Amino acid sequence: MQKWQLQEAKTKFSELVKQTQLAPQTITVHGEPIAVIVSIQKYRNLVEPKQGIHEFLSASPLSDVQLRFSRNPSTTLRDINL
């Protein structure tokens, strides 16, 4: 990730924006990072959901496996005397 001093980033803003297509760009003030500029595609990848839970589960290699659930009726909270 390339680092740009704030003053340099101001004067070379067009170049800074072009460089975001290659990699995120860090802006520094007094040597400390204060911001990162990224391409619009990278930004969208960061903020947009990849897929919903339904799509995630449907894409699972185990999506067609039938699960059988059962519970033991002998251990319920109602049977415990508090």
Domain residue limits, the chain: 2-58
Average pLDDT of span 52-76: 80
Alpha carbons 41 and 35: distance in angstroms, whole number = 18
Q: Which residue has the higher pLDDT, 71 or 25?
A: 25
Task: Answer yes or no: is pLDDT of 79 > 60.
Answer: no
pTM for the model: 0.59
Alpha carbons 37 and 23: distance in angstroms, whole number = 9
Question: What's residue 80's pLDDT?
Answer: 60
Task: Answer yes or no: is pLDDT of 75 > 90.
Answer: no
CATH of the domain spanning 2-58: 3.40.1620.10
pLDDT in tens, 3-25: 999 999 999 999 999 999 999 99
Tell me the two tokens of residue 15: 């170049």
Alpha carbons 35 and 47: distance in angstroms, whole number = 17
